[in-house]
A and B are shown apart, each in its own frame.
Chain A
Amino acid sequence: MISNPIIQVKDLCQNLDENHFILNKINLTIGSGEFLALVGQNGAGKTTLAKHFNGLLKPTSGKVLVDNLNTKYVKVSELAQKVGYVFQNPDHQIFHNSVEKEISFGLKYLNLPAEEVKRRTDDALKAVGLVDYRYAHPYSLSRGQRQRVALASVLVLKPNVLVLDEPTTGLDYRESMQIMNMIRSLNNQGHTIIMITHDMSLVSTFAKRVVVLNKGEILLDGPVREVLSHQEILSETFLEIPPISRLADKLSVIGIPKNLLTVEEVYRALCDVRGAEK
């Protein structure tokens, strides 16, 4: 049982028309402070489900509660203070001529005192590591930096929950790691993270809980280690567990435990086996 639920999804259905559903009877409870990855192949309904968390989509039937508020009756712009949503393409929201203005835009609607606006903007700039780029034009930044501007512009509203739709698309490895480490530290500060992805290596490195969607239904839901141990079910949805875990599974013949997730874990297990041999 999840002690401190922030998002509760009850019998959620989303239908295209009478005969076609995108989501079918989804039940899900997300606790405050979780780091959850939403995985599945294209068209599985990941983004559709995530858009229900901040009211962008309203359920055809069933309900979604955010902080015990039914999303059906709350405006998206109000829910934005509880659930932040960062889209794949940052260019869909950038339109100011400096990073600072871009980030503080959402605060204009909250009627906050000037010093509070400044403080929150500073915090957000720091959180995404763009303090030096405060007065830069957003379009002079790299794609990864623009992605961080988009993240910061959602962060200023101080939402408890952050939904990130494929935060690493189009980024190189270094930029991906930068943004993922930022997301991890936000999680450590108490933000609930919901990350949509199909990169299983990211999932095993960063997430704590995984929800696997397939054809609009929840296929698996649990801690990362447990979900990744269901190899056959995962391969049905064309999700492949990370190479290092597959290697560890093959090495179980020499006594390596199964369901290892990181290089570090496999390395230690190998050392243990060698130590035992000597």
Chain B
Amino acid sequence: MTVANEYIPGNSPIHSMTPLAKIIWTSVVMILALLFNHPLYLLALFFSVLLVAKIAGVLKVLISTLKSLFLFSLILILLQVLFTKEGEVIFYITEYLPVTKNAVYLGTAMGLRMMAAVLSFLIFLLTTRFKDIIQTLTNNLKLPIDYVFIFMTALRFIPTFLNEIKQVKEAQSCRGCSLDGWNPLVKIKAYAAVALPLVLVSLQKADKLAMAMETRGCGSGPRTCYREQKMSAADLSLVFISILLAVFAVLARLNGYGTYQY
């Protein structure tokens, strides 16, 4: 699976919003996705997230991720088909394996729920600078900087490590280590040759990162920021709409809308 989680510079309206507004939007999408289990409601939510991706201009980058998420959703539907036997039967694959309406609906709902939640978070990551996220999490949300930094560094290093894996793989196959074969047993054994150098190189990297941070005064006293983030009118209205939507959704759900009776 290709991972796209690196910031992509741009000047769309989504890029110019403060991270806090985007975090709230992402959380609301998550709440809505968990709240409803009717495929149609979730489909609407999914499309609204896609629309935001389009406005942010990151739809193209997300295509490959979207493809793998789609495949994963298909697996979810397949699993439901295997294990859900209740409900109206649409057709039979074999005599003992009926495909029920319930299974297909449930699987689709789960797939859409996952896609909407994952995509909204990816849009947030793709349109927000890492330092801005850190600033928001520590200043606005008052989370301790140490933990924020651990989490954000882990995210930040995913592409770096993917690149390292590629280089180690190349280096090992150049000395005759057969990584590009087809035999899975041989492959598993050969991957020790990739995993070990990767761990060693990563430890070196972590050490260097810690040194670089210390030499720049990290942890020496209270942390201040050069730029303060101010919520604009657009930010405030997004937050307002998001929260309103969440409240409305909870009320709707309590009154029995958006559920599918299995």
Contact = CB atoms under 8 A, between A and B. Distances in A.
B167 A77 contact: no
A121 B122 CA distance: 49
B196 interface: yes
B197 A76 contact: no
Taking each of A86, A91, A95, which has the highest tally of chain B beta carbons within 10 Å of its own beta carbon?
A95
Taking each of B167, B171, B175, B178, which has the highest tally of chain A beta carbons within 10 Å of its own beta carbon?
B175
A95 B193 CA distance: 7
B178 A56 contact: no
A140 to B, nearest CB: 13
Interface in A75-94: 75-77, 80-81, 84-87, 89, 91-94
Nearest to B173: A76
Interface string A88-132: 010111110000000001110110000000000000000000000
Contact of B197 (A51, A56, A85, A91): A91
A110 B179 CA distance: 14
A261 B113 CA distance: 69
Contacts of B201: 91-92
Nearest to A84: B174
B184 interface: no
A105 B193 contact: yes
A154 B196 CA distance: 18
Contacts of A86: 174
B176 A94 contact: no
Contact of B167 (A89, A107, A153): A89
Given A80-B173, A87-B170, A87-B171, A93 B178 contact: no
A157 interface: yes
B174 A56 contact: yes
Interface string B156-180: 0000000010011011111111111
Interface residues of B, number: 22
Interface in A31-61: 51, 54, 56
A80 B168 contact: no
A56 B173 CA distance: 9
A85 B175 CA distance: 8
Given A89-B167, A92-B167, A105 B200 contact: no
A109 B32 CA distance: 54
Contacts of A153: 175
A2 B234 CA distance: 69
B219 interface: no
Contacts of A95: 192-193, 196-197, 200
Given A92-B168, A94-B197, A95-B197, A109 B178 contact: yes
Given A92-B197, A95-B193, A75 B178 contact: yes
A77 B200 contact: no
Contacts of A81: 176
B144 interface: no
Contacts of A75: 173, 178, 180-181
A86 B201 CA distance: 17
A150 to B, nearest CB: 8
B175 A76 contact: no
Nearest to B186: A109
Interface string B200-211: 110010000000
Given A92-B201, A153-B175, A56 B180 contact: no
Given A91-B204, A109-B178, A77 B173 contact: yes
A95 B168 CA distance: 11
A154 B177 CA distance: 11
Contacts of B174: 54, 56, 76, 80, 84-87, 154
Interface of B: 164, 167-168, 170-181, 192-193, 196-197, 200-201, 204
